[in-house]
């Protein structure tokens, strides 16, 4: 493995962060997916510590919520400064535990920091309203108040950005947080907690608990003091948590799985569409919720498109993410590798053709060759499940109506993309795609400034933009009479 050299090695934590203290015995090893070597170990905490974290967050709630917005904003800005100061170390930690190339990890740290910056500012803009009253000599006021203690459960594919995308708006709104990162990638979350600690965030305002998901998730769902559960992960687990959270009627915000269509119309700029497909499919080794999962290409340009796509895919440099040349890292674990191989074998058995790739990479471990498949049918499992790997399945289509029907024929509704130059068609297709986000001649959907989220079984609620902070605020109406 390329060596993990940090300017500040104390950012690698082996304990969880509870009520402003580092707790627990290192127990579960965290492995570098590039070569399987252990980086460190973290505690396997239980429902006892999960409950203690809620108690700490509950105790910290009123003092934090009662602070001036400017005080909360200043604390977030100090956290931001710490994150920026340690950007390179945070990126290396992220690559070491997750596998993505260092350039992508550095992008993710900037993305993570952008949520802290944006919501530090947004804290100052939480305003209520005065509405026309229904009674004489009275006033009707509406205030926005922090929802309370928030629980956050996050996945391994964006181990830093998913932390700040939840914690920053929650803290800015005056909420306090208990968080469980994914077991594969807790080190980014713990390093961010260490930096929050250095920034002087009050004790108990943000707690990071590591350990088995089920008891921790259940403890938080069952606890009536937790008022919001924010989850990013698979649709299956999202549904389970939604059921569990219903017992205490919590608010849930869910950022779940996707099955993004990527449509190339006949009049598309072919080169731009190919580059878009590379970005939307192969980023993070195909392991993002908004990854293109099904490429629909119009008959008239299909052959030229797949030929050019295969050429570009062949140029991708696969390797250890810490190597600066690397453009595609390993998959997160062997289960991910097995899933990709199974979906691919099923597609090939059903008549799909491998244009390039198609096999585990000679580097071994969990590396897989970037792959392009054509002759794919929309009935194949590879087009119905999230592949979460570097395989681009291409399906031919001949009419707009046909491709819209196929694109919408999935329980998911997170992101969709299309390339084409006809403006009338662009708005028509955008209107008809049942997705929370649509990239038109662009794939760069991720930004702090936009409302990120899905419809159908891809989620509830939005993260990012001014809409993102509203999830953490509750309206209260005051009627003032006798004036
Ligand atoms: P996952 O299996 O659903 O796990 C996500 C998190 O939930 C992990 O921390 C996991 O811990 C935890 N979890 C699992 N079972 C749980 C339970 N019974 N109670 C409480 N927590 C539980 O998803 P993943 O494989 O890590 O992540 C990939 C998925 O996330 C994909 O479907 C992807 O599309 C989605 N995603 C969506 C977005 C978005 O914004 N929409 C962003 C990123 C990823 P354990 O691993 O210990 O079980």
Residue 2 binned pLDDT confidence (cut-offs 50, 70, 90): low
Is the distance from CB of 459 to CB of 465 less than 8 angstroms? no
- The answer as to whether 45 is a domain residue is yes
Same domain? 99 vs 235: yes
- The answer as to whether 450 is a domain residue is no
Question: Across residues 172-186, what is the average pLDDT?
Answer: 98
State what percent of residues in the chain have pLDDT above 70: 99
Phi, psi of 81 (to 5 degrees): -60, -40
CATH number at residue 49: 3.40.605.10
The CA–CA distances, whole Å, from 225 to 145, 207, 284, 288, 469 equal 16, 15, 36, 32, 20
Which ligand 1 atom lies nearest to the CA of residue 180?
A: 9
For residue range 433-458, list pLDDT tens digits in order. 999 999 999 999 999 999 999 999 99
Give 157 Cα–ligand 1 centroid separation in angstroms.
9
Q: Answer yes or no: is the C-beta of 108 below 6 A from any ligand 1 atom.
A: no
Q: Answer yes or no: is the C-beta of 42 below 6 A from any ligand 1 atom.
A: no
- The answer as to whether 328 is a domain residue is yes
Question: Across residues 191-217, what is the average pLDDT?
Answer: 98
Query: Active-site residues: which are they?
Result: 255, 289
Same domain? 181 vs 309: no
Same domain? 245 vs 394: no
Which residue has the CA at smallest separation from atom 47 of ligand 1? 213
Pocket test for ligand 1, best of 159, 189, 208, 234 (most atoms within 8 A of CB): 234
Pocket test for ligand 1, best of 160, 184, 213 (most atoms within 8 A of CB): 213
Which residue has the CA at smallest separation from atom 39 of ligand 1? 255
For 200, what's the count of Cα atoms within 13 Å in the CB-facing half-sphere? 8
Q: How far is Cα 148 from Cα 145, in angstroms, rounded to an integer?
A: 9
Residue 4 binned pLDDT confidence (cut-offs 50, 70, 90): confident
Q: How far is Cα 406 from Cα 376, in angstroms, rounded to an integer?
A: 13
Residue 430 binned pLDDT confidence (cut-offs 50, 70, 90): very high
Tokens of 25: 């015995």
Whether residue 320 is predicted with pLDDT greater than 70 in this model: the reply is: yes
Encode 140-160: b = buried (16+ Cβ within 10 Å), e = exposed: eeeebbbbbbbbbbbbbbbbb
Q: Answer yes or no: is the C-beta of 451 below 6 A from any ligand 1 atom.
A: no
Taking each helix axis from N to C end, the angle separating 213-222 and 235-245, rounded to the nearest 10 degrees, works out to 40
- The answer as to whether 453 is a domain residue is no
Whether residue 1 is predicted with pLDDT greater than 80 in this model: the reply is: no
Which ligand 1 atom lies nearest to the CA of residue 156?
A: 26
Same domain? 431 vs 468: no
Whether residue 137 is predicted with pLDDT greater than 80 in this model: the reply is: yes
* Domain encompassing residue 285: 260-445
Question: Across residues 414-436, what is the average pLDDT?
Answer: 98
Q: Which residues contact 109 (CB under 8 A, 6 or more apart)?
A: 83, 87, 90, 91, 94, 160
The CA–CA distances, whole Å, from 427 to 43, 423, 433 equal 51, 6, 10
Strand 260-264 versus strand 292-298 pairing type: parallel
Q: Answer yes or no: is the C-beta of 234 below 6 A from any ligand 1 atom.
A: yes
Same domain? 225 vs 268: no
Same domain? 273 vs 354: yes
Strand 391-397 versus strand 292-298 pairing type: parallel
Give 59 Cα–ligand 1 centroid separation in angstroms.
28
Sheet-wide strand order for 16-18: 21-23, 16-18, 206-208, 176-180, 149-153, 226-232, 251-255, 459-460
Q: What's the mean per-residue pLDDT of the chain?
A: 97
Which residue has the CA at smallest separation from atom 23 of ligand 1? 233
Q: How far is Cα 476 from Cα 455, in angstroms, rounded to an integer?
A: 27
Q: Answer yes or no: is the C-beta of 153 below 6 A from any ligand 1 atom.
A: yes
Whether residue 298 is predicted with pLDDT greater than 70 in this model: the reply is: yes
Same domain? 374 vs 473: no
pTM summary value: 0.96
DSSP 8-state class, residue 70: H
Q: How far is Cα 241 from Cα 411, in angstroms, rounded to an integer?
A: 18
State what percent of residues in the chain have pLDDT above 90: 99
Q: Answer yes or no: is the C-beta of 289 below 6 A from any ligand 1 atom.
A: yes
């Amino acid at each position: 493995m390329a060596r993990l050299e940090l300017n500040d090695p104390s950012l690698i934590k082996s304990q969880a962060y509870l009520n402003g203290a580092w707790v627990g015995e290192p127990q579960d090893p965290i492995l570098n997916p590039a070569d399987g070597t252990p980086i460190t170990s973290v505690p396997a905490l239980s429902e006892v510590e999960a409950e203690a974290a809620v108690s700490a967050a509950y105790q910290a709630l009123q003092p934090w919520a009662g602070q001036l917005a400017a005080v909360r904003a200043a604390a977030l800005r100090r956290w931001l400064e710490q994150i920026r100061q340690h950007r390179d170390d945070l990126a290396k930690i992220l690559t070491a535990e997750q596998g993505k190339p260092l350039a992508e990890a550095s992008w993710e740290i900037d993305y993570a920091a952008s949520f802290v910056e944006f919501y530090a500012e947004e804290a100052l803009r939480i305003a209520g309203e005065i509405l026309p009253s229904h009674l004489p000599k009275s006033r009707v006021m509406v205030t926005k108040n922090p929802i309370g203690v928030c629980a956050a459960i996050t996945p391994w594919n964006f181990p830093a950005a998913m932390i700040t995308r939840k914690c920053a708006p929650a803290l800015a709104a005056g909420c306090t947080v208990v968080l469980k990162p994914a077991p594969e990638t807790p080190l980014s979350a713990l390093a961010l907690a260490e930096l929050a600690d250095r920034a002087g965030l009050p004790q108990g305002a943000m707690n990071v608990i590591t350990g088995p998901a089920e008891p921790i998730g259940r403890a938080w769902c069952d606890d009536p003091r937790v008022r919001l559960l924010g989850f990013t992960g698979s649709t299956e687990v999202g549904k389970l948590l939604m059921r569990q959270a219903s017992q205490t009627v919590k608010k849930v915000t869910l950022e779940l799985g996707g099955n993004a269509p990527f449509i190339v119309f006949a009049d598309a700029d072919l080169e731009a569409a190919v580059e878009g497909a590379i970005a939307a499919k192969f980023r993070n080794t195909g392991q993002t919720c908004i990854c293109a999962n099904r490429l629909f290409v119009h008959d008239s340009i299909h052959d030229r498109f797949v030929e050019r796509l295969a050429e570009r895919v062949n140029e991708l440099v696969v390797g250890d993410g810490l190597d600066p040349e690397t453009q595609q890292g390993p998959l997160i674990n062997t289960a991910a590798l097995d899933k990709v191989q199974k979906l691919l074998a099923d597609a090939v058995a059903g008549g799909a053709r491998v244009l390039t790739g198609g096999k585990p990479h000679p580097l071994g471990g969990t590396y897989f060759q970037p792959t392009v498949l054509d002759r794919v049918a929309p009935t194949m499992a590879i087009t119905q499940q999230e592949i979460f790997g570097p395989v681009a399945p291409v399906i031919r289509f001949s009419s707009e109506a046909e491709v819209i029907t196929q694109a919408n024929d999935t329980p998911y509704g997170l992101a969709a993309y299309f390339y084409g130059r006809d403006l009338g068609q662009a708005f028509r297709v955008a209107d008809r795609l049942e997705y929370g986000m649509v990239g038109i001649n662009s794939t760069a959907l991720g930004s702090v400034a936009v409302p990120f989220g899905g419809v159908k079984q891809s989620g509830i609620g939005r993260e990012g933009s001014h809409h993102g902070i509203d999830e953490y605020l509750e309206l209260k109406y005051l009627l003032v009479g006798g004036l």
